[in-house]
Copies of this chain bind each other. A is one copy, B any other.
């Protein structure tokens, strides 16, 4: 399979699992929350985190399918964080992936509950015995614990708080790194390490290599994203100020300059590629690291 074929395959598996996890017999009694969660969870997106989980499971000797409940759970957590981030009291965004944000369509109260429901459903999904047949209870527990830590106050939510509190303030490169490593890095790392754990390869050296890959890939992707936010706007609006800067958010180009950012993206990508070499059959992981900062997608 080529890179995009495999990404497509993982995306389809993820979307099928999401469809299945986000339906219920209770929909007859209160349809709105189910409509709201599906609206956001099934609105496209790269499905990068699920792809990492399934691919790390595969290169560690498992099947992508045995990691699927965890892959879908990651995407639910990612989606809930976007719904809550977009709320008027947070980033107050009207558009997400080219469509009106959840609260614009369903109202703020339903959007708050839809976010809560997705976070909760992520844990329901990985803890449901039907979804994890063939895995030992110890394995499921270890992977679920990894997911819970990564998405909580010491992980993603910590990054969201740092992000919110940094708005309109001068922050250092160290703080911005800490912010990004929490806000997006922790979940990326969990995506990779959960894949290894679910394949039965939870030894320290394997997890360290997987974390190193995900950490560098995630940071490279974030810096590239910041660059696009500036350079995309130069082309489009003829002014070097992107939406992040407008919101008073610190970005890597503002702190480090464009040239240093480009260099950093290359360095981080090289580190991710080097970390991938610890795994057999690592062509996809290598190509993915390069592809994500290539702007060709």
Contact of A124 among B37, B140, B149 (CB under 8 A): B149
A83 to chain B, nearest CB (A): 10
- Whether A128 lies near B145 (C-beta < 8 A) is yes
Q: CB-CB contacts of A133-176 with B at 8 A, as 1s and 0s?
A: 00011101110110011011110011011101100000000000
A148 close to B119 (CB less than 8 A): no
A29-B158, A162-B29 as given contacts; A89 in contact with B108, CB under 8 Å: yes
Q: How many Å lie between the Cα of A116 and that of B85 in the bound state?
A: 12
Chain B minimum-CB-distance residue to A118: B153
Please state if A84 and B116 are interface contacts (CB–CB under 8 Å): yes
- The reply to whether the CB of A117 lies closer than 8 angstroms to some CB of chain B is yes
Tally of contact residues, A, Cβ under 8 A? 52
Contact B153 A120 (CB under 8 A): yes
Q: Provide the bound-state CA to CA distance between A107 and B164, in Å.
A: 12
Q: Which residues between 178 and 213 of chain A lie within 8 Å of chain B, taking CB atoms?
A: 178
Contact A120 B148 (CB under 8 A): yes
Number of copies: 2
Which residues of B lie under 8 Å from residue A119 when comparing CB positions? 116, 119-120
Report chain B residues within 8 Å CB of A89.
Answer: 107-109, 112
Question: For A29, what are the chain B residues with a Cβ–Cβ distance below 8 Å?
Answer: 158, 162, 178
Residue of B at shortest CB range from A162? B30
Least CB separation from A111: chain B residue: B89
**Can you give 16 contacting A-B residue pairs, CB < 8 Å?**
A26-B153, A26-B154, A26-B158, A32-B165, A34-B153, A89-B109, A112-B112, A116-B157, A117-B152, A119-B119, A121-B152, A123-B123, A124-B145, A124-B152, A127-B148, A129-B145
Interfacial residues, chain A to chain B (CB-CB below 8 A): 24, 26, 29-30, 32-34, 37, 80, 84, 87, 89-90, 107-110, 112-113, 115-117, 119-121, 123-124, 127-129, 136-138, 140-142, 144-145, 148-149, 151-154, 157-158, 160-162, 164-165, 178
A-B pairs with lowest CB-CB distance, top 8: A89-B108, A137-B137, A127-B145, A120-B152, A124-B148, A123-B148, A117-B153, A137-B138
